[in-house]
Amino acid sequence: MRLMLAEANFRHSMPRQAKNKPSWEIGLQGAVKEGRRGWSVVNFRGKTRLRLQFPKQGNWPADAQAFLPYAWESTSVNPVIQLVNAIYPRVMSGEVTLRAAIDDAVATKTMPAATAVSPWPAIEEAFKRDLMEYGNQIKAKTYEGSYGQYLKIALLHLQGRKQAQNGFELVDTTLRHERTHQGRGKRNGDTLATWMDQPASRHQCCLALKTFLDFAVHEHHQPQCWLVSDRDHKKLRGAPCKQRVKAYPTDEECLALFDLLEKDNPNNPGWANVIRLMRVYGIRMWEANHLVAKTDPRGQLSLFVTEGKTYATRGTKRQNDPRFLRHVPVGGEIFDLVGEVHRGELDLPTNKQGEPVEVDGRNLGNRLRRLPIWRELEAKYAAQGEWLRPYSFRDSWSHEAGRYGMNDHNICRAMGNTVEVRNRSYRTSSFDSMADDWGKVDQALVKAS
């Protein structure tokens, strides 16, 4: 009986071994312990953690633990052993702390840098730099909208006790993260829908994190568990987004918006001029900052966009050619926009210091949403299943130009895009335009009879 109890106590006192532990783990842990009392390495969520635990009596260094810059995988065995060999004498002599010894060893390249695992914030910085300096060379604003806002939340789930354990879990928790409005004003602190509940944002978030994690594994040696497979990516992103039908405001609505936006900004009338230019000349909102009046090949003074849109095709950056613009009247009006630009009298948006503002969808949208009529129109078009946005003025130009019977290629030449892009991204038809065309059929029938 005593023998059986002794055997049971012996088994209970033995350290637990993970089932089916690979031989390289057993070898690594044994090599670190051999000749180094109190030293051990363990797997902590895919990273290698070094632990120092010593007897309470005697002249021993303080207990300590620190992550080593290596993933917990077979290829890290030799680098880990080399690093432990390098730091052991300095730590045990009390010359430096464990953390300082590791940092010194890394700084003096006593370990192979190619296998080092970078911390997540450093990977995010490198990822941003990579996207901005190579490939499509995106701008900082593009990075923030397409990647930064999602990575900011993802990084929160890569720290603390409840951090994500793999790529799938990280994407899933980021999509479900509860968000609040962080802007100024009355909405500050209001609860926002999660990205999981916003199909377009859900797709963009999944793609951004998949791309980031692929970069982390292949460029910064994070464990393979962080990769998101195509199967998991398809599962996480959900059903394909249904393309929203874009609204185009009528001439009467446009004229009312011109007037009210100018009255709402008496000290900054440039905002009204931006939407006038968008509706009358079909420009992109930011192109308002790049306009001159120039004589065209037919000798007519016309508006000219001096800077084409930059885009990427197969990793190569390209830029559209500068172009002459053509007007499409709104309620029979084209205003004196060419003359004002020519004379240098056209007001454009400025900040509080009186400096020019680069117009974008956000700041123009903020101005428009202050108008009750804009909010009413948003609700009106939403009830019809249509989406009203600042770019809708350009959509309205595209739609009305088509109703004049102009050639698609000529419309696109003035818009600065292609027929394919216009058909895919802009409003080109409506019930009214369809009815106009079919009215010609009815007229032909009347003449035939």
pLDDT of amino acid 19:
60
Q: Burial level of 269, CB count in 10 A (0-12/13-18/19+)?
A: middle
pLDDT digits (tens, 9 = 90+) for 240-265: 877 788 898 999 999 999 999 999 88
pLDDT of amino acid 136:
77
Angstrom distance (rounded) from CA 32 to CA 170: 32
Amino acid at 196: M
> Given pLDDT bands bounded at 50, 70 and 90, which one contains residue 110?
very low
Query: pLDDT at residue 8 above 80?
Result: no
Q: What is the mean pLDDT of residues 48-60?
A: 84
pLDDT digits (tens, 9 = 90+) for 389-429: 999 999 999 999 988 888 889 999 999 888 888 878 777 77
Q: pLDDT: is 21 or 349 the higher one?
A: 349
Angstrom distance (rounded) from CA 15 to CA 1: 24
Of 93-102, 168-177, 356-365, the least confident: 93-102
> Given pLDDT bands bounded at 50, 70 and 90, which one contains residue 312?
low
CB 368 within 8 A of CB 253: no
- pLDDT > 90 in the chain, percent: 47
Four-point Cα dihedral 29, 33, 39, 45, nearest 10: 0
Question: What single string gives the DSSP state of each residue in 121-184?
Answer: HHHHHHHHHHHHHSTT---HHHHIIIIIHHHHHHHHTTSSTT---SHHHHHHHHHT--EE--SS
CB atoms within 10 A of CB 126: 15
pLDDT of amino acid 15:
45
Query: pLDDT at residue 1 above 90?
Result: no
Q: pLDDT: is 440 or 357 the higher one?
A: 357
> From the centroid of its chain, how far is CA 25?
38
Strand, helix or coil at 302?
A: strand
Query: pLDDT at residue 368 above 60?
Result: yes
Angstrom distance (rounded) from CA 206 to CA 239: 12
Angstrom distance (rounded) from CA 279 to CA 329: 8
Q: What are phi and psi of 150, to 5 degrees?
A: -80, -40
Strand partners, 295: 301
Query: pLDDT at residue 298 above 90?
Result: yes
